[in-house]
Every structure is written in C-alpha cells, then in structure tokens.
Amino acid sequence: MQIVTFRRWINNLYLFNYKHTYTASIEHFHAHDGLELLYIHEGSGTFVINDSVFQVRPRTLILIKPFQIHYMRMESPPDYTRSILKIKVSSIGPYASSFPYLSSFLTQLLDNKMSRQLFYLTDEQAAYLENQFSEMNDILSNAPEMMHREAVLLFFYQFFSYFQRKLYTAEELSKEPFTQASTQHINNILKWINDHYKTHFKMEDIARDLHLSPNYLSKLFKEQIGKTITEYTSEKRLEEARALLHSEDLSIKQISVQTGFHSPSYLIYSFKKKFGMTPHQYAAGVKKLIHQLREKD
C-alpha cells in the first residue's frame, strides 16, 4: 500500500535530492506540483509521458511539467541513482523581470506541448549537468541557509540557459529510443487510453479501434509497460482524481464521473487502497498544507 505524505516546499520554492540510490526495483504513476528536473545517473527502465513510452538509461534528463501525469518503472539490478529538483513555478514570478528572455522561453515551455521532454545527454552535456547538481548540493549542504534560495534560483536559470542553447535545439536528441512497429502500437494504446479513460471500456474496444487482437495488445503492453492495461488505466484514473482533489469546487461524485469511476464509493475504495487514505482525508491534507504555507509567507 502506498501512503501519501505531504512534503513542504523548502523556502516555499523547491525540493532537492542529490544522487539518491534505489537498490530495489521501483515504479510510480503520479503527478505533482512544481516543475521537475529529473536526472538519471545510473539505472535502466521505462518512462511514459504524453502518450509515449521511452527507455531510460544512464545520462537521461527528463523535464516534467506541474501536475503532468507520468509513469516510471526502474529495474533492479542495476541500482537506480537519480538527482531531482522540483521548482514551484509560481514562486519565481517576481524574478522574471531580471531574466526576460529566459522567462519568456520558460513560459512557452509550460504553456505549450513540448516536442520532447526526455533527453539523452552526451558525455560533455552530462558532465556539465552533473557538475551543476554537485555544486548546488555542496551549497545546500554547507552554506548558510540564507544563501539557499538564491543558489536554487541561480541554478534554475543557469540550467534553462544551457538547456535552451545546448539541448532543446539539438536535432540529434529528438530521436526516440524505439522505432519498431511494436512501440508505435504501445504509443497508440496509450493515446487510446488517454482519450477514453473517463468512460467504461473493454479490451475488445481497444483491439477493434487499433486493429489488433486482444491477446496481442495485452501481451505487448504488459511486456513494454510492466503492468496490464487494466492496472495502468486504474492508476491513471486515480492520479487524475488526486489532481482534481486540489480543486475546492468539485465534489467526490463529480470527480468520480470525470475520472471514469462508475460510482463515488468505488472511487473512495480504490483511492484508499492505493494511497492509504480517503479522498476526503487527502483533500483535507492539501488544504492544511496550503494554509501552513500561507501562514509562513
């Protein structure tokens, strides 16, 4: 059972974790506040975002937008080591005037669909980014706390300056790891689920629309994603429901309808089974955390 914890933003701005290593296989299907920079030092696995599946390997950089639902599965062995920075985008607004060009670029990235969000870095690019992460970790570990906010903001803008010049415009990085027909089938299945998860459907519906046999698409999806179509769809619905719980305007009944659950009671049962609390308890925790952050500000 997965238990949800509410983590407070440091300085109401960021969450940072440097070179954390997992020795066992992990998987998660979630969305979160904040713009996330995820860098994989070591490890291999699968990442799903924007209805597309990608292979993850050492020196992979992933950008995840606020509340963008994604799925990740990392195999062990080998160990999985990653560094991560999450930035609360709403908190960097006051500094935008000092970096007008970069701020405009960042706004475009957040407001529009990115052509890609996963990048395989060269040795030179990886060395640069790893050095930046290492320096920030050193500052956050050893420098006075009053310097932390500035260090994170400096890293953030330096990163996106480098990203715009060296990564997002590099044509060689636009290639996806899979080119075979089977991966195109997976992407089509993911897109179909994304278009239909709000309604009840059967395996035969996907097979009919995609002109594949039910047995073939079930086997292929399990092999590539690591879980069944039913499991994946259920987790997608739950993450969509969790995101909607951040809104005070929707009832549990409305959320159940918008996320494909046939009844509020089934949503409550499924939510508690996965997250260890009811939707009402989760929403209350969100409100409490927001209230605490506002008091701190």
Nearest to 96 by CA among 160, 7, 8, 52: 160
CA distance 42 to 74: 10
Token representation of residue 165: 């010049």
pLDDT at 262: 85
Q: Are residues 191 and 262 in the same domain?
A: yes
**pLDDT 10s digits, 232-280:** 999 899 988 988 887 767 899 999 999 999 899 999 999 999 888 999 9
Domain of residue 64 covers 14-174
Q: Are residues 189 and 160 in the same domain?
A: no
Q: Are residues 259 and 187 in the same domain?
A: yes
Q: Are residues 89 and 198 in the same domain?
A: no
Q: What backbone phi and psi angles, to 5 degrees, belong to 73?
A: -135, 120
297 domain residue, yes or no: no
Higher pLDDT, 167 or 178: 167
Higher pLDDT, 52 or 296: 52
| Cβ atoms 70, 61 nearer than 8 A | no
- Over 50: is that where the pLDDT of 177 sits? no
5 domain residue, yes or no: no
9 domain residue, yes or no: no
Provide the whole-model pTM. 0.71
Total domain count for the chain?
Answer: 2
pLDDT, mean over the chain? 85
Number of Cβ atoms within 10 Å of the Cβ of 158: 15
- Over 50: is that where the pLDDT of 4 sits? no
Nearest to 28 by CA among 164, 267, 232, 180: 232
| Chain CA centroid to CA 231, Å | 18
6 domain residue, yes or no: no
Q: Are residues 188 and 162 in the same domain?
A: no
- Over 70: is that where the pLDDT of 112 sits? yes
169-175 average pLDDT score: 44
Q: In the block, which residue shows the tokens 């927001």?
A: 290
SS (H, E, C) 185-224: HHHHHHHHHHHHCCCCCCHHHHHHHHCCCHHHHHHHHHHH
Whole-Å CA distances, 231 to 104, 188, 197, 241, 248: 39, 17, 12, 15, 28
Q: Are residues 263 and 128 in the same domain?
A: no
Q: Are residues 165 and 263 in the same domain?
A: no
77-92 average pLDDT score: 89
Please give the helix or strand (H or E) that residue 275 lies within, else none.
helix 264-275
- Over 90: is that where the pLDDT of 185 sits? no
- Domain with residue 186: its CATH number is 1.10.10.60
Q: Are residues 238 and 162 in the same domain?
A: no
Q: Which of 174, 201, 232 is the last residue of a domain?
A: 174
Task: Give the strand pairing for 26-30 and 44-49.
Answer: unpaired
**pLDDT 10s digits, 55-70:** 999 999 999 998 888 8
- Over 80: is that where the pLDDT of 9 sits? no
Q: Are residues 110 and 216 in the same domain?
A: no
- Domain with residue 133: its CATH number is 2.60.120.810
Q: Are residues 244 and 199 in the same domain?
A: yes
